[in-house]
A and B are shown apart, each in its own frame.
Chain A
Amino acid sequence: MDGELVFWICFFVGGYSLVVGALLRIALKSKN
């Protein structure tokens, strides 16, 4: 796979995973 493709895969899959992970972390740590 070329570098450009790897970059965009990391950008989108990584970005979305980070957002979902951060929101899940807030949800699981919250006392709410």
Chain B
Amino acid sequence: MAQPQQEQWSGRLAIIIAAVSMAVGTGNIWRFPRVAAEWGGGAFLIAVTIALLIWAIPLLMCEFLMGSRSRLGNIGAFRDFMGRKHTWAGGFMVAVTIGIMFYYSVVAGWCIRYFAVAAAGGLTPDLSTAAADASVTFGQTQWDAFINDPVETVGYHAAAVVFTTFVVFQGIKGGLERVLKVFLVALLAIIVLLAARAVMLPGSAAGLRFLFVPDWSQLAHSRVWLEAFTQAAWSTGAGWGLMMVYSVYARKNEEISVNSGIVAFSDVLVGMFAAALVLGTLFAVAPTPDIAQQALDAGHVGLTFIYIVDLIATMPGAWIISPLFFLALALAGVSSFIAMFELATTNLMNFGFLRRNAALIVGVVAFLFGIPSALSIEFLNNQDWVWGVGLLISGLLTALAILKYGVKRAAADIDASSDIRIGAWFALAVRGIPVVFLVLFGWWIYQSVRDNPDTWWNPLVTYSTGTMALQWGIALALVLALNRFLANGVKDGPMTKPSEATAATRSDSNGR
């Protein structure tokens, strides 16, 4: 039977756009500003830049190499780079990213909902009546009403899943490429526009100082470096396996080094604009600097869906700024969700499913497994904790795959198809990734034990070490048990070595 032709991005710019829209997510808007402001502003930005060079860019390059050379999703790529015995590592990476996908669609649904309500004028209240009950703000009332309404939370989660299923169903060129191009351009335009508007507001300079002026003393604190490396690991998509999947559809011998650099540096650049927008607006609009600080301390949900709703409502032009802000958030969320959905779909296609069937299966599963997070924010927080930290393990596994494959060989492969030769630095950085992992991972575990001295072992506590160990353990046991099935079930790619059984069959038939 003739093999169906492999799908492909239309060109280099297409894969760069897809990869940047994968990396730029809601975290750029609601995490980056808070963390940058808290950990030394410009000093933090310098630490992030170093983290990009040591962790994020080398890992993105590893993923790019694995996907584009194996022409297979994560499971097949790990099989072909690490050997059949270690196929489970690809399975673990898929489990972690799918674990995130299950709640990320819920978060994308929140953003879509807030955009829809803002566009209908529902987030610009009549402030004279809103002030009647000052104990509960308008933003808090809005959020409580929404999050406690299962029809709305599940409904908007379903909307995110249905839209994404439709996009992935249409394929790489007809679906992802077409949609992501429009999404990224719109997202960048809105963020730059709103950031420019925020910078011009009287009083915004106080927020911008937090973001850009370095507090050099912070660089002496290990916490700043840990936060910077965590930011670089989570925000750029390095270690998620998403770049690996997008590069499966790259052209033959696609450039790796420059493309990976563009993804990582663009991600932080967009983060800076988003941070200028959020911090500039907060400090300009908040009645006192203390309230601006409270907003930053209120977490993702508190900052975005409560404080920003309240503060934007008091601004001139709120009727247009509010929908644009939530549109940017929705575009960032959905474009990252599309990448996770494509990861699941591509891995399923490697087991022989047609794209359309695979997309439909992933859509149904994503909807069903996302329901607990849509119904319980506590459950969502738990999943965010477990699989967010799990990404560091995925990053380590990616580096180990390249070390097993041969880091010098990988560096030579990368240099052979790159516009700039950075193989020597790549080899050095990949060798250092296990050390960085040990420090980062150890710190997160230490934090979880320190913050929950009595319950850190309890798997039923949301942010405990026990809950991480239990859920990672289940995922690990499953992929280890299924290792042979995974290794044999994934189709062969151009790098696949025959299994012992296949080789024996072949030599038998040759002997005859």
Q: List residues of A whose CB falls within 8 A of some B CB.
A: 1-2, 4-5, 8-9, 11-13, 16-17, 19-20, 23-24, 26-28, 30, 32
Contact = CB atoms under 8 A, between A and B. Distances in A.
Contact of A13 (B209, B272, B417, B420): B272
A19 B209 CA distance: 23
Contact of A20 (B214, B265, B419): B265
B252 to A, nearest CB: 11
A21 to B, nearest CB: 10
B208 A9 contact: yes
A12 B418 CA distance: 27
Given A1-B205, A11-B42, 16 more contacts: A1-B208, A5-B209, A5-B212, A8-B214, A9-B212, A13-B269, A13-B273, A19-B265, A23-B258, A23-B261, A23-B262, A23-B265, A27-B258, A27-B419, A30-B419, A32-B419
B266 interface: yes
Nearest to A16: B269
A32 B13 CA distance: 11
Nearest to B12: A27
A23 B214 CA distance: 26
A1 B205 CA distance: 6
Interface of B: 12-13, 16, 42, 45, 205, 208-209, 212-214, 253-255, 258-259, 261-262, 265-266, 268-269, 272-273, 417-420
A8 B209 CA distance: 9
A11 B258 CA distance: 22
A12 B45 contact: yes
Contacts of B272: 12-13, 16
A16 B272 CA distance: 9
Listed from nearest, the 6 A-B pairs whose CB atoms lie closest are: A8-B212, A16-B269, A32-B255, A23-B262, A30-B419, A1-B205
Contacts of B45: 12
Contacts of A26: 258, 419-420
A16 B268 contact: yes
Contact of A28 (B13, B208, B266, B417): B13
Contact of B205 (A2, A20, A27): A2
B208 A27 contact: no
Nearest to B46: A12
A4 B215 CA distance: 13
19 contacts: A1-B208, A5-B209, A8-B214, A12-B212, A12-B272, A13-B273, A16-B265, A16-B268, A19-B265, A20-B262, A20-B269, A23-B258, A26-B419, A27-B13, A27-B16, A30-B255, A32-B254, A32-B255, A32-B418
Contacts of B418: 32
A7 B209 CA distance: 11
Contacts of A28: 13
Given A27-B255, A28-B13, A17 B269 contact: yes
A4 B209 CA distance: 9
Nearest to A17: B269
B49 to A, nearest CB: 8
B213 A5 contact: yes
Contacts of B255: 27, 30, 32
B406 to A, nearest CB: 23
B238 to A, nearest CB: 16
B213 A4 contact: yes
A25 B420 CA distance: 13
Nearest to A31: B419
B213 A8 contact: yes
A20 B208 contact: no
A7 B314 CA distance: 31
B505 to A, nearest CB: 40
Nearest to A28: B13
Nearest to B266: A20
Contacts of A5: 205, 208-209, 212-213
Contacts of A8: 42, 212-214
A5 to B, nearest CB: 6
Contacts of A27: 12-13, 16, 255, 258-259, 262, 419
A4 B212 CA distance: 10
B258 to A, nearest CB: 5
B219 to A, nearest CB: 15
Contacts of B208: 1, 5, 9
A12 B420 contact: no
